[in-house]
Copies of this chain bind each other. A is one copy, B any other.
Amino acid sequence: MAQAKQLPTILITNDDGITAPGIRNLVEAVKNLGNVIVVAPDKAQSGMGHAITIGQPLRMNKVDLFEGIEAWQVSGTPVDCVKLAVDKILHRKPTICLSGINHGANHSINVIYSGTMSAAMEASIESIPSIGFSLMDYSVEADFTASRFYINKIVGSLLKKKLDKHFLLNVNIPKLPLELIKGVKMCKQAYAKYEEDFDERIDPQGRKYYWLTGKFINFDKAKDTDVWALENNFVSVVPVQFDLTNYKLKALLEKNWTIK
């Protein structure tokens, strides 16, 4: 018991829901590294961004989905899960919070739309070192072998370090067999985004409606971006912060803008 207490507590959440293969693989990847506890949404929450549940109550139920691992499903968003885990389940901060493995990429600008990264960011705001993991494969039958390998390496080596309380990483793993991945690359967030298109249709009543579609375009030609790393078969690691202040613009406006 004394020994068990010295193990790190690893809080795991995601945004694809507690039954997604991604979260099962994340648990598998790190369960030898500490005491794992899972608190995750009861259904998929993709595209929810940094949403919190206001105006409706939250439910939380213990579930038996991961062998030998305490797990709770929550009727809210990934951010709700982190908040509830700290306040109502753990009653203290975990050593680290891991979010994912997301089914699909969260590189470049996707960091701000991503429920996976929102949960990780929420933990970081709450002074819990945190990492979001995403595999660039939307398929439910995605192969998580390489993801498990790199996640174990990354988390294992970070748990040996003294991490800043707001430590936050966005990790993306290319859709490749382990032997074709060249390693891990430290990156900045690429300026790459979806060029939206709305597919305009007419409903049976003759009224227009729109489906959001779009294709991904990388405007950022730098070689230290996450998009570059992933295109070149590296696991991308982007350190992330939640202070969105644009200090350069702040200095510029302080110098040359006055409101009279």
> How extensive is the interface on chain A, given as a class?
35 or more
| A208 CB contact (under 8 Å) in B60, B121, B153, B242 | B60
Instruction: Select one of B46, B164, B210, B240 contacting A245, CB under 8 A.
Output: B240
Residues of A14-54 at the interface with B, using a CB-CB cut-off of 8 Å, are 46-54
B interface footprint on A43-87 (CB within 8 Å = 1, 0 otherwise): 000111111111101111000000000000000000010011001
Contact across chains for A49 and B46 when beta carbons are under 8 A apart: no
- Closest B residue, CB atoms, query A254: B186
- Give the contact stretch, choosing among A4-12, A137-145, A172-180, A197-205: A197-205
Q: Which residue of B lies closest to A61 (CB)?
A: B207
Q: How far is the CB of A34 from chain B (nearest CB, A)?
A: 18
In angstroms, Cα B203 to Cα A60, docked, is 13
For A196, list chain B residues within 8 Å (CB): 83, 87
| Complex: A193 Cα to B197 Cα, angstroms | 36
Instruction: Give the secondary structure class of A's interface.
Output: mixed
Alpha-carbon distance A196/B183, docked complex (angstroms)? 39
* List of B residues within 8 angstroms of A80 by Cβ: 212
Contact A48 B47, beta carbon cutoff 8 Å: no
> Assuming the A-B contacts A50-B113, A188-B247, are A210 and B257 also in contact, with contact meaning beta carbons closer than 8 angstroms in the complex?
no
How many copies of this chain?
2
Question: Of A189, A210, A260, which is in contact with the most chain B CB atoms at under 10 Å from its CB?
Answer: A210
Q: Are B245 and A238 in contact (CB under 8 A)?
A: yes
- Is A111 positioned at the interface, with any CB of B under 8 Å from its CB? yes
Cα distance A46–B51 when bound, in Å? Answer: 9
Cβ distance A33 to chain B, nearest Cβ, rounded Å: 14
Given A54-B46, A210-B58, A241 and B239 contact (CB-CB distance below 8 Å)? no
Could you tell me if B88 and A209 are in contact, using CB atoms closer than 8 angstroms?
A: no
A184 is an interface residue with CB less than 8 A from chain B:
yes
Give chain B residues whose Cβ lies under 8 Å from the Cβ of A113: 50-52
Cβ-defined contact, A121 with B125, below 8 A: no
Would A245 and B239 count as touching, CB distance under 8 A?
Answer: yes
Can you list 29 A-B contacts with CB-CB less than 8 angstroms, sorted by A residue number? Answer: A46-B54, A47-B51, A47-B52, A48-B48, A48-B51, A49-B49, A49-B52, A49-B118, A50-B112, A51-B113, A57-B211, A59-B210, A87-B198, A88-B198, A88-B200, A111-B244, A125-B193, A168-B246, A186-B253, A186-B254, A186-B257, A189-B244, A189-B245, A238-B244, A238-B245, A239-B247, A241-B244, A241-B246, A241-B249
